[in-house]
Structure 1
Amino acid sequence: MSNDTLSDDIALRIGLAARTLPDADPARLIRVLADTVGLPPTATTLDTLRVKDLKQAADGELADLDADVLKSILAILKGETGQTVAPAPPIEPYEEGDMPGSLRVACASNGGDELDGHFGAARHFLVYQVSPQEVRLIGVREIAESGTVEDKNGQRAALIADCQVLYVASIGGPAAAKVVKADIHPIKDAAGGSARDRMVALQRILGEKAPPWLAKAMGQSPEERVRFERSEDAA
C-alpha cells in the first residue's frame, strides 16, 4: 500500500458508491479496490476500472450484484455522476377516494420525471395514482438509508407498500421477491423514459382491457374479471 493519503474527493466517491450495496458496507468496496487498483485509489487508477473488474475482484466479493448496480458503482467511482440532479415534478393534490377504481403506482427514479432507477439504487420513488380517466403524481418518496440498515430491499419495499404496481429500469431476483411478498407487482422497463408517459400508456390497458391481476388491484369484482377473461378467450 502506498504512503499517499486518500483524497477527500475519492473518499466521497467511495462512500457514495458503497450506499448502492445491499448492506451499504464500505469495507466490501475497499477490499475490491485493494485487489484491483491498490490503496489508496486515485482518480487515475479508478478510471482504469471496468465492470468485469468489480465483479471478479476479491474472490468475487461483488459477484452477486446485478450488472446495473455494478455499473452505477463504477460511474460513481469514476466521478461521472456529479451532474445536478433534476428536481422531481410538482406533486398534484389528491385525497383518498378522489379516483375510484384507480391504481397506485411507484416508479423508481434518479431525478426529474425519469423512470430510470434500479430498485436497489434509485434516489426516490415517484408515486402516481392512475385511473382510466386521469393520472396524478401524488408523492415523491425519498430514500434515506444508512449503513445500519440490514434489509435494504425490505426497507424500500415497505416505503411503497401502499402501491399495487412498481415500475423499475431493473431489479434483481431477491429484491423482486421482497416486492412480490409485499403484494406489489413489479414491471421491469429497461428502456426507461418519462414516468408520466408510462402512466399514460398504463391508462390504455385499464378498464375493460385490464388483465385479471390488474383488475383485481383496481378493485373490480370477480364477476367483472371473469367477464374480461371470457371476452379475451373468445377474441
Structure 2
Amino acid sequence: MNTSITREAALRIGLAARALEVSPRELTLALAEKLDLPLSETKLAGCSVELLREAMDGDGGICVAEKEDLKKAVRLLWGEGVTGSELPRTDAYNDGDMPRSVRLACASNNGEMLDGHFGSCERFLIYQVSADDLRLVDVRSTLEADHAEDKNVARSALIADCDVLYVQSIGGPAAAKVIRANVHPVKIPLPGPARDSAVRLQASLASPPPWLARVMGVTPPSLERFARADEDA
C-alpha cells in the first residue's frame, strides 16, 4: 500500500491537528479511515465538517471537537490561511484568455521549483505561456496517478492538456508515453525556479525553434521562405 504523503498535505494535517488539540498521527489515522491512503491535497480539499466529525468519532476514539474548531480544521485541511505553505499561488485563467499560447508542465517537489523527475515528482506546475503573458494556472498532485496500474501512463494523462513538459530526467519508456499523449518532453538537468524556465520558453515564442514551432502549429522561421515559395509556385 502506498502510504506516502506530500509535505503540503502533512503541513495541513499538522496545523489542523493543532486546532483540534490532537496529535498529527491521530488525525492522520482518523482521516485515513475515511479518505484512504495516501492522503493528498486533492483528498483533503474534499473534506467536510461532517466527514471530519465522523472520522474523529470513529474507531480511533478521538473525542469530537467543538463545531467551530472543526470548521477551522477543515479550512486548514483545504489549505486556506496556511502559513508556510510551499504551494505557489495560481493565477486566474479562463480558456481563451491567452491566444497563441502554449501550456507548459514542470515537474516539481518544492515550491515553485523545477526540480523533479517525471516518475517520482510530487506535482506538476502548469503554466500558460504566450509572447506577452505568463501565468501559473494549476498545481497538480501526482499521488493519485501513482495508484494506477501504469503510473507513467497515469502521469502522462495528468498533463495531457499540456504542450511541453520540463523535467530533470525521464526514462525512454516514460518519454514515449508522454509523447503518445501529444506532450513534448524536455530535460532540464539542473534544478532551478520553474518560472525562470517558463520565461525562457516565453522568449523563444517569437522565433521558435523547429520543435517548438511544431508544438505551436506554425511554420518555423527558417522554413518560412520555402513555404512562401510553395504558395507562389
How would you bin the TM-score normalised by the shorter chain? 0.5 to 0.7
Distance, in Å, in 1 between the alignment partners of 2:195 and 2:147 is 34
Distance, in Å, in 2 between the alignment partners of 1:227 and 1:16 is 47
2:213 corresponds to: 215
Relative to structure 1, is the Cα distance of residues 149 and 90 closer, same or farther in structure 2, using a 3 angstrom cutoff?
same
CA apart distance, 1:96: 0.6
Structure 1 unaligned runs (5+)? Answer: 1-11, 18-84
The letter for the 1-side match of 2:156 is A
What is the aligned-residue RMSD (CA, Å)?
2.6
Report Cα offsets for 1:49-80 as digits up to 9, x if no partner: xxxxxxxxxxxxxxxxxxxxxxxxxxxxxxxx
2:115 corresponds to: 116
Distance, in Å, in 2 between the alignment partners of 1:226 and 1:118 is 30
Distance, in Å, in 2 between the alignment partners of 1:148 and 1:125 is 17
The letter for the 2-side match of 1:109 is S
1:90 corresponds to: 89
Report Cα offsets for 1:150-200 as digits up to 9, x if no partner: 100000000000000000011111111110111110000011200000011
CA apart distance, 1:226: 5.5
Relative to structure 1, is the Cα distance of residues 229 and 192 closer, same or farther in structure 2, using a 3 angstrom cutoff?
farther
Report Cα offsets for 1:91-129 as digits up to 9, x if no partner: 000011111000000000002011000100000000000
Once the two structures are superposed, the pairs formed by residues 74-89 of structure 1 within 5 Å of their partners are: 87-89=86-88
SS in 2 for 1:157: helix
Moved runs in structure 1, 4+ residues, more than 3 A?
Answer: 14-17, 145-148
CA apart distance, 1:15: 5.5
Distance, in Å, in 2 between the alignment partners of 1:142 and 1:149 is 14
Once the two structures are superposed, the pairs formed by residues 173-184 of structure 1 within 5 Å of their partners are: 173-184=172-183
Would you say how many aligned residue pairs link Structure 1 and Structure 2? 148
Once the two structures are superposed, the pairs formed by residues 24-35 of structure 1 within 5 Å of their partners are: none
TM-score (ref. length: structure 1): 0.57
The letter for the 2-side match of 1:167 is Y
SS in 1 for 2:114: coil
Once the two structures are superposed, the pairs formed by residues 131-210 of structure 1 within 5 Å of their partners are: 131-145=130-144, 148-207=147-206, 209-210=207-208
Percentage identity across paired residues of the two chains? 51
1:229 corresponds to: 223
